[in-house]
């Protein structure tokens, strides 16, 4: 028999699992960055810099004293995080590396159409350069014979695609970022493991995906576990069924969310969730609470619109609108832009959600925007 819980309880559990229930759930300083990435499972990377790029934004949301150099330290010095593809390019805990080795092997055996133009000699060239000269970026390669771009995001340097292929096949790792410029290093030399991790089995990968979702979402559905990875749904369903028979997972029905079956660890339902009703978070559009749009809408009754790629006349919330969470409610979506020349954070458009406009909400949000501005512009 399914357990029925209210939407308010479901939101509280999810917010708590996301580390948004209190101001500093992962502690302070550089170690908090490692703790946050390990708990969330991944932190998405994106190139858009209307405001601070989303990987820094996501961490700042959960770590009040977060500094950009903390992520650099985790990636390049402590090496506790690395970059790879989850549902998008993301920072991932290094301790989870073995769960991505199967994807690397699959790419080696059968590269996608995008990489089929990479010639063997181009791959050998970049590997030899890095082996002999150390980590390098595409800017460090100056002897390429330039070609015409095959895509707006492509490069005229053939070496760029070779570096990318080396990254996805696990020969190379992104050892450092300077802004969005990536430096590549030989994977084995970067990590200098005493013993290289053993690739996870298919069953272990499914277990990992399920556990990651239950840890960071509290209430997991097949869709949320397999977000943008539909091929894993049959295996995840079987795994959930097996755990349900052992009473390790319970089916949950959320009032008002009719079509989705959620699963939860029994002990999670016994937790008392305490949320600060005046705690405000200005969330990135790529925040793990926001990125799964259908789930966000089902629980928060808010349909987020990412409108950066829409023509101006079709935008409702604005070019880069950010959802604003107050307590357990999304109360507004504010389109912000960092004017770095004037050292100001500009409010392009302030959108209140229905029945959420109030003097108290406005005061709380304005106070948070002051803190947000200081981080954005390094004040």
> Residue 265 in contact with residue 215, Cβ under 8 Å?
no
> Residue 368 in contact with residue 322, Cβ under 8 Å?
no
Q: What is the mean pLDDT of the segment spanning 225-240?
A: 98
Please, is 109 exposed, middle or buried when counting C-beta atoms within 10 Å of its C-beta (0-12, 13-18, 19+)?
Answer: exposed
pLDDT for position 152: 59
pLDDT, tens only, 13-60: 999 999 999 999 999 999 999 999 999 999 999 988 999 999 999 999
Give the strand pairing for 43-44 and 89-93.
Answer: antiparallel
**Tokens 């995001």 correspond to what residue?**
153
DSSP type of residue 220: B
For the chain, the average pLDDT equals 94
For the stretch 346-349, contacts whose Cβ atoms lie closer than 8 Å and that sit 24 or more positions apart, written own/partner, are 348/318, 348/319, 348/320, 349/317, 349/318, 349/321
The CA distance from 208 to 229, in Å, is 14
Q: Is the pLDDT of residue 123 over 70?
A: yes
pLDDT, tens only, 293-332: 999 999 999 999 999 999 999 999 999 999 999 999 999 9
> Residue 55 in contact with residue 71, Cβ under 8 Å?
yes
User: Residue 24 to residues 21, 74, 80, 171, 213: CA-CA distances in angstroms?
Assistant: 9, 18, 20, 37, 21
pLDDT for position 158: 82
For the chain, how big is the Rg over CA atoms in Å? Answer: 22
Tokens of 273: 């969730």
CA angle 243, 253, 258 (to 5 degrees): 125
List phi, psi (to 5°) of 330. -80, 115
> Residue 70 in contact with residue 59, Cβ under 8 Å?
yes
> Residue 254 in contact with residue 10, Cβ under 8 Å?
yes
Q: What is the mean pLDDT of the segment spanning 231-247?
A: 98
Give the confidence band of 242 by pLDDT, cuts at 50, 70, 90: very high
pLDDT for position 151: 64
Tokens of 368: 């948070």
pLDDT for position 274: 86
Position with higher pLDDT, 117 vs 94: 94
Q: What is the mean pLDDT of the segment spanning 255-274?
A: 92
DSSP type of residue 319: T
> Residue 144 in contact with residue 206, Cβ under 8 Å?
no
pLDDT, tens only, 133-173: 999 999 999 877 666 666 655 667 889 999 999 999 999 99
Provide the CA 7 distance to its chain's centre, in angstroms. Answer: 24
The CA distance from 306 to 70, in Å, is 28
Question: What is the SS3 assignment for 27-65?
Answer: CCCHHHHHHHHHHHCCEECCCCCCCCCHHHHHHHHHCCC
Q: What is the mean pLDDT of the segment spanning 93-102?
A: 98
pLDDT for position 150: 66
Q: What is the mean pLDDT of the segment spanning 83-100?
A: 98
The CA distance from 323 to 319, in Å, is 13
Question: Which candidate, 257, 267, 256, 271, places its Cα nearest to that of 224?
Answer: 257
Question: Which candidate, 263, 265, 306, 262, places its Cα nearest to that of 287?
Answer: 306
Q: Which strand (E) or helix (H) includes residue 351? A: strand 344-352
The CA distance from 34 to 16, in Å, is 18
pLDDT for position 117: 87
Tokens of 266: 């029994």
All residues at 6 or more sequence positions from 96 whose CB lies less than 8 Å from its CB, including other chains: 41, 208
pLDDT, tens only, 321-365: 999 999 999 999 999 999 999 999 999 999 999 999 999 999 999
pLDDT for position 301: 95
> Residue 242 in contact with residue 263, Cβ under 8 Å?
no
pLDDT, tens only, 76-89: 999 999 999 999 99
The CA distance from 353 to 333, in Å, is 8
The pLDDT > 70 percentage for the chain reads 97
pLDDT for position 134: 97
């Amino acid at each position: 028999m399914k357990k029925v819980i209210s939407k308010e309880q479901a939101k509280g559990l999810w917010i708590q699992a996301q580390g948004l229930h209190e101001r500093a759930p992962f502690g302070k300083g550089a170690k908090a960055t490692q703790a946050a990435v390990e708990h969330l499972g991944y932190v998405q990377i994106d190139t858009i810099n209307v405001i601070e790029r989303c990987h820094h934004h996501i961490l700042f949301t959960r770590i009040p004293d977060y500094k950009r150099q903390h992520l650099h330290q985790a990636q390049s010095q402590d090496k506790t995080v690395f970059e790879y593809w989850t549902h998008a390019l993301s920072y991932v805990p290094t301790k989870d590396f073995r769960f991505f080795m199967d994807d690397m092997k699959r790419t080696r055996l059968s590269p996608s159409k995008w990489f089929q133009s990479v010639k063997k000699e181009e791959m050998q060239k970049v590997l030899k350069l890095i082996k002999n000269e150390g980590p390098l970026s595409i800017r460090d390669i100056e002897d390429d014979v330039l070609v015409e771009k095959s895509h707006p995001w492509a490069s005229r340097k053939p070496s760029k695609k070779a570096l990318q292929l080396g990254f996805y096949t696990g020969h190379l790792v992104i050892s450092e970022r300077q802004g969005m410029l990536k430096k590549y290093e030989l994977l084995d030399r970067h990590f200098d493991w005493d013993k290289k991790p053993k690739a996870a089995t298919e069953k272990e990968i499914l277990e990992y995906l399920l556990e990651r979702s239950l840890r960071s979402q509290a209430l997991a559905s097949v869709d949320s576990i397999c977000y943008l990875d539909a091929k894993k749904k049959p295996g995840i369903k079987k795994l959930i069924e097996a755990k349900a028979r052992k009473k390790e997972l319970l089916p949950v029905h959320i009032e008002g969310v009719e079509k989705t079956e959620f699963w939860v660890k029994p002990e999670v339902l016994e937790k008392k969730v305490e949320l600060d009703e005046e705690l405000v978070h200005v969330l990135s559009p790529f925040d793990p609470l926001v990125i799964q749009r259908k789930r966000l809408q089902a629980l928060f009754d808010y349909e987020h619109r990412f409108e950066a790629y829409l023509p101006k006349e079709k935008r409702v919330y604005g070019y880069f609108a950010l959802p604003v969470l107050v307590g357990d409610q999304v109360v507004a979506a504010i389109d912000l832009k960092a004017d770095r020349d004037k050292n100001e954070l500009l409010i392009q458009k302030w959108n209140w959600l229905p029945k959420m406009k109030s003097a108290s909400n406005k005061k709380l949000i304005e106070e948070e925007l002051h803190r947000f501005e200081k981080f954005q512009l390094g004040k």
